[in-house]
Structure 1
Amino acid sequence: MLHTIIEKNSYHDSIVLMLLTNHLKEIAGVNNVQVMMGTPANKDIFKTGGLATPELDQATPNDMVVVVDVDDEALIDQVVAESKNYLEEQSQAKEDEGTTERVRTWDKALEVGKDAPLALISIPGVYAAPEIERALDAGKHVFCFSDNVSIEDEARLKKLAHEKGLLLMGPDCGTGVANGIPLAFANRTRRGEIGIVGASGTGIQEVATTIHKLGGGVTNAIGTGGRDLKAAVDGTTLKDGVALLDQDPSVKVIVVISKPPAKEVRDSVMDLLRAAHKPVVVVFMGERPDHHEEGLYQAYTLEETAHLAVDLLNGQQPTVVAEELPVPDVKLAEGQKNIKAYYSGGTLAYEAATMINDTVGLNAESGVDGAILNQDGYEALDLGDDVYTQGRPHPMIDATVRKQMMTDAGQDPETAVILIDDVLGYGTHDDMAGELAPTIKKVIADAKAQGRELPVVATIVGTDLDIQDYAGQKKTLEEAGAVVCQSNAQAVKVALALIGHPVEEVVKDVEPKKATNVTMPEVPESLRNLLTVDRFVNIGVESFAKAIDENGGRAVQFDWQPIAGGNVELQRALAFLNKVSLETEV
C-alpha cells in the first residue's frame, strides 16, 4: 500500500535525498520508497517508478515528498521518524563543522562572495539556466553540475560566457580541478604542470589519476560537459579552455579529452590545437589514430593519453607502453564469448565499447539509452545515464542497479567476462568495493556451481590520496575474487585476451604538423583569474563546498531554494525584470 508524506517548505539537495532514500530502504517491511522534492519532473519519476498517488498533486517544488510502499501502516510513523532523525543529523553535522559561511539569497551570496571568481551550480536542471545566467551577469565563471539543461540554453549561455570573457563548464559537468582544488566528483591528485580540458566526468578522472600514478600532476582540469563538441555548441568551452591553458605559464603539456565530436567541430578543434605553443595530447573517444603530428599527439585510450603527457613533460619521445597484463589462468566453457561491462562513468564505457568493437570487429553503431555498446551479446553500459538514474542515486553512490546486472549476466552461460569500475573521490561511495564484493563472490560461485569459470575484471579510478583508501579498495576487490587492473584500458585488454581477441598495439610515426590558418586567441584577464581561484560560491550540493574547504579553498554556501513556488516561467520573468532593473540603475 502506498502512503505519501509531504513536508511543506523543506528543501534539501538531491544527493542528501538520494542518501535518505537508501537509508529508508533498509527498514524491514519497506517494500519501496522514494524521497524527492515535489518538482514536476520528480512527480513524473514517482509515476514511472510505480509510486504515483493523488496526494502528489498537492506538493510544490519547495516541499519534500516521501512516497513509501508498506504492507503494515504502523511503519509509516517509523519512516517519518527515521527521515526526521536523518535530516537532523545531517544538519547538526553541518553546524558542527562550522567552517562554511552560509547564505540564503542571491544578493547575500554576491555580497559575501564578491571576491569569488567561480560559482558552482548543482540544483535541479529545470532551474539551472536562469541561475547560470545570473552568475555570468555577476562576472563569475560557472561550473554547472546540473544536468537536464536544454542544448539551446547551453549554446546560448556558453556564447554569453565567451562574450564576457568567462568560462561556463557544463552543464552536466561531473568533475574538475581549479588551481589544485577538486570540484564536484573529483579525486585528490598532486599539483603539476599538465593541464586538462575535456569531457568532464570519468574521462578527466581516469587521465588525472593515471598521471598521478606515473609521477606527474594536474593543477587545472577544465570540464566542458558532454555536449560541448556537438555542432550546436561548437566547442566553445573547450576552445576557450585550450587557449587559457596555452597561455598559463605553469602548464607545460596540454591534454584534450572528448567523447565522439561533430566532424566540423573536431576539425576546428584540431586546427586550434595545431596553433598551440605547447605539446598537446588529444584523445577523441571512438577514434583509433595511426600517427602523431609533431607537437600534436593523438591517443587511442585514456591510459595512453596519460602516458604520452607524462613522457612529454619529462622531455621523452612518446613510445608504446610495454604492459604485462594480469590475465588470469581461466579456461572458459564452450559458448562463453561475451563481455559485459557495467560502468558508473560514460567516458569509461565509451572507451570499453570502442576497444571491444574495434578488436572483435563488431561494426556496431553507438547505442542509445546508456548502452554505448549492445550487440551480439556484448554490452558496455553507462549506468550514470539518465535512463538508469531517474529516481535513483548515481551508480557512484548506489550499486543496486549494477549488482543486479552483474548477477543477471552471471546467469547467462554466454557471458565470459564481467567488467566493472570503482570510482573513488569526493561525492562517491565511502566503500564501493565493499558494496560490490558480495556480488562478485556470488557471481563467481554461481558460475562455478554451473560448471563455468567467470572472471570479474575491475579497475579503480583513484589515487593514494583519496579518502576511500585506494590500497584498501584494491584488497577488498581482490579478496572477493576480482582481477584488479591499473587502468580501464588495461582491464578491457585483459577481458579481450580472455576471449581470444588480444589488442594489437599500433606503433605511430610522428609526421610533420599540418598547416593551420588559426591563431591562438589572446585570453582576457577575466579568464586568466580562473587559474588562481581559491574562493567559490557553492549553489546547491553542500558536499562540494566541503571538498573545496578541505583542499585549501574557501566556499560560501548558498542554500538555494526555488522561488515563485517553483514556477519556471515565472522565475524566468522575475529574472528578466531583475536584470532590466539592474541595467537601468547602471
Structure 2
Amino acid sequence: MNTRVEVRGGIYRDSVTLLRVSRALAQRPGVTAATVAMATGLNLDLLVQQGFTVPAGAGPNDLVVAIRGEDEAAVRAAWEALDGLLAEAPAPAAAGGAPEAVPARTTGAAARRLADPGGGLALVSVPGRYAFAEAMDALAAGLNVMVFSDNVPLHQEIALKEAAGRRGLIVMGPDCGTAMIGGVGLGFANAVRPGPVGIVAASGTGAQQMMCLLDTAGVGVRHVLGVGGRDLSAEVSGRSTLAALAALDADPATEMIAVVTKPPASRVADLVHSAARRLDTPVTFAMLGEDAADLTDATAKVLRALGRDVPRWPSWPAPPPPGPPSPGALRGLFAGGTLCAEAALVARRELGPDPVSGHAFTDFGDDEYTRGRAHPMIDPTLRLERLAAEAADPACAVVLMDVVLGYGADPDPAALLAPAIEDALARRPDLRVVVSLCGTPADPQDRDRQAAALQAAGADVFASNAEAARHAARLARGRAAAAAHGRHLEGA
C-alpha cells in the first residue's frame, strides 16, 4: 500500500463539496481510501482511525488530504485529479450566451437588486462564525432569514431575533434544517402534497416526520416555518415561534397549525400556549417530553381535528430471522436530533425498569459531529462506522437507525446502508436492525424503493419513528414481547 497525506493552509470548501471530492477520489482505480476534509479535531481523529498519520499543526482552517492506494501510480493519479475536483465550477452564462452580471458581494447588495425586497427571504448557509453578519445584513435589507448554518453562538441568535422582531420579520434558525414556503421546500424538505396544514418547528426532522405522515394520510402541508432547536429555550423565549404562529394565523389558506419541538422550557411552553389560544386558527402541539404524545400520536390528533381517518402507518418487516431475539442493549444511531430524542423517550417507556444496561442513543447530527463535515443525512460515514462497531459488540442486541429522505439528503441512502446492514447481520446473525424511514413515495429517493432495499438487507422498516422505537425496544427485551409484535408486523 502507498499513502500520501498533505495539509493545505488557506483553502476552504464546504463539507458537501469535500464529500463529493472524497467520493470521486475513492472511486478511482487502485485507490483504497481517500478523505478530503477541513482539519477539525473530529476529522483528524477519523483519519488516525483509518491509519493515516496527520502532520503536526493542522487546524480547522486547514484542508487535509489523505489518499491510500494499491501502489504509487494509483495515488499519484488521484493526486493529479485533486485540484480539478476542488476547483470551483465556472459561473454560468446568462440566456443567449452573454456573461452574467457580476455577482453581488453581500446579502444586502443582492437584496437591493430585487424590485421589491420586502417580505422576501434570504437563506444563509455559511460556516457558523460568519452567519451572524450575513443574516443581520439580510434583515437590514428587509428580508426574512433562514439560517441553515449551525454552530452559531446563542447570544448572536438572540440578537438576530430581536432585530427581526423590531422590523416585523422572522428569523428561521440558526440550525434551521427544514422549511417550506407555499409548498417550496428549503434545506432538507420532503415532497408532500399541498394542503391546509402549517407547521411551526423547533425541529427539522420532527417537522419532516409529521409532514410525511400527513402525506401518507392524504393530507397536505402549506408551510413549514423552522425556528431553530434553541428557540423555545429559556434564553431565546420562543421569539421566532411566536412570530411564526402570527404569520400562519394571518394566512387564510392555513386551516390548522401544528407546533413541533423537543422539550421546551416550561415558562416558554406556557407563553406559546397562551399565544396560541388567542389565534383564530386552531393549534395542535407536539412538544416531546416524558409524559407527552409522540410525533405519530400528535399527527393522528391533527388528522382527527381535520375530520380525517388515521391510517395504519406503513411498515416493511424483514424476512423471519433464523432464531428468536436475545435480550441485550439497544443502540440508537440517528441523523435526526428530534427523531433521536423521540426514540429514546419511547424506548424508555417500553423498556421500563429493564435489567439490561448499555442502552444508548446518539444524534450524529449534533454540532460536535458536524463541524467540518456534511450532515449525516448527506454523509453516512460516521454512522456506518458505528454500525460496524455495534455489530462487533456482543452486548448490543438491537441497532435502531433513522433514514431521512427528501431534497438535500443523500440521493440513495440504501446504496451504502443496505450492504452495511447485510454485512453486520452476516457477522452477527443474532443482531437485529430496525430502521425508521422518514419520507414519501414522491421524494427523489422514492420511499418505497428505499424500504424494499433495506428490508431485503434484513432490517425491519417503519414509516413511523415511534413505532420503530417501540419495536426495537421490544426486540431488546427478548423473545416474548418481540414475538407478539412480530405477529402484528405480519398483518401490516
| TM-score for the superposition, normalised by structure 2 | 0.84
Instruction: Provide the rounded CA distance (Å) in 2 between the counterparts of 1:101 and 1:356.
Output: 55
Tell me, yes or no, if structure 1 residue 456 matches structure 2 residue 457.
no
Change (3 A) 1:16 1:250: same
Query: Is the counterpart of residue 470 in structure 1 residue 447 in structure 2?
Result: yes
Query: Matches of 1:325 and 1:118 in 2, distance apart?
Result: 38
The code of the aligned residue for 1:388 comes to Y
User: In 2, are the aligned partners of 1:4 and 1:56 still within 8 Å (CA)?
Assistant: no
Q: What is the alpha-carbon distance in structure 2 between the residues aligned to residue 323 and residue 47 of structure 1? A: 42
Unaligned segments of structure 2, at least 5 residues: 483-492
Secondary structure at 1:103's aligned position in 2? coil
Other structure's SS at 1:128 match = helix
Q: Determine the C-alpha separation between the residues in 2 that align with 1:324 and 1:52.
A: 47
Structure-2 residue corresponding to 1:301 = 294
1:384 maps to which residue?
365
Q: Secondary structure at the match of 1:81?
A: helix
Aligned residue type for 1:356: A
| Residue in structure 1 matched with residue 401 of structure 2 by the alignment | 420
* Structure 1 residue 66: Cα displacement: 3.7
Q: Per the alignment, in what secondary structure is the counterpart of residue 258 of structure 2? A: strand
- Give the drift of 1:44: 5.1
Report the more deviating stretch, 77-86 or 462-471: 77-86
Q: Supply the distance in 1 between the matched residues of 2:472 and 2:277 (Cα, whole angstroms).
A: 36
For the Cα contact (< 8 Å) 2:7–2:58, is it kept in 1? Answer: no
- Any residues of structure 2 matched to 1:46-445 within 5 Å, and which? 52-53=54-55, 56=58, 65-68=63-66, 70=68, 77-87=76-86, 91=89, 103-106=103-106, 108-116=109-117, 117-289=120-292, 300-313=293-306, 315=307, 336-361=327-352, 376-445=357-426
For 2:464 and 2:144, the matched residues in 1 are separated by 32
Question: What is the identity percentage for the equivalent residue pairs of Structure 1 and Structure 2?
Answer: 34
Q: Structure 1 residues 56 and 179 mapped into 2: Cα distance closer, same or farther (>3 Å)?
A: same
Q: How does 1:533-552 map to 2 (within 5 A)?
A: none
Inter-partner Cα distance in structure 2 for 1:324 and 1:4: 48
Return 439-448 or 229-238, whichever deviates more. 439-448
SS in 2 for 1:458: strand
The more displaced of 139-148 and 491-500 is: 491-500
Q: CA shift at 1:283, angstroms?
A: 1.3
Tell me: CA distance 1:377–1:96, structure 2 relative to 1, closer, same or farther (3 Å): farther
Tell me which of the two structures has the higher relative contact order, counting C-alpha pairs closer than 8 angstroms and 6 or more residues apart.
1
Matched residue SS, 1:154: helix
1:338 CA displacement: 2.4
Q: TM-score, normalised by structure 1?
A: 0.72
How far did residue 418 of structure 1 move?
Answer: 1.8
Contact 1:119/1:135 (CA < 8 Å) preserved in 2?
yes
Residues 56 and 335 from structure 1, CA distance in 2 versus in 1: closer, same or farther, beyond 3 angstroms? closer
2:260 counterpart SS class:
strand
Cα distance change of structure 1 residues 473 and 46 upon mapping to structure 2, 3 Å threshold: closer
Aligned 8 A contact 1:457 1:484 in 2: yes
* Aligned counterparts of 1:324 and 1:136: Cα–Cα separation in 2: 43
CA distance in 1, matches of 2:353, 2:157: 34
Other-structure match for 1:13: 14
Asked if residue 497 in structure 1 is aligned to residue 488 in structure 2, the reply is no
- Count of aligned pairs between the two proteins: 465
Deviation at residue 282 of structure 1 after TM alignment: 0.6
Q: 1:336 touches 1:414 (CA, 8 Å); kept in 2? A: no
C-alpha displacement of 1:287: 3.3
| 1:513-543 Cα shifts (integer Å, max 9, x gaps) | xxxxxxxxxxxxxxxxxxxxxxxxxxxxxxx
Residue 487 of structure 2: aligned partner: none
Query: Residues of 2 paired with 1:257 and 1:207: CA distance?
Result: 8
| C-alpha displacement of 1:164 | 0.8
Q: In the superposition, relative to structure 1, how do residues 192 and 439 fare at CA in structure 2: closer, same or farther (>3 Å)? A: same
| In 1, Cα distance between equivalents of 2:26 and 2:345 | 37
1:53, 1:166 → 2: CA distance?
47
CA, structure 1 residues 358+184, in 2 after alignment: closer, same or farther (shift >3 Å)? same
Matched letter for residue 420 of structure 1:
M
C-alpha displacement of 1:110: 2.2
Are the structure 2 counterparts of residues 229 and 101 from structure 1 closer, same or farther at C-alpha, using a change threshold of 3 Å? Answer: farther
46-55 or 239-248, which deviates more: 46-55
* 1:3 alignment partner AA: V
Tell whether the 8 Å contact from 1:285 to 1:351 is kept in structure 2 after alignment: yes
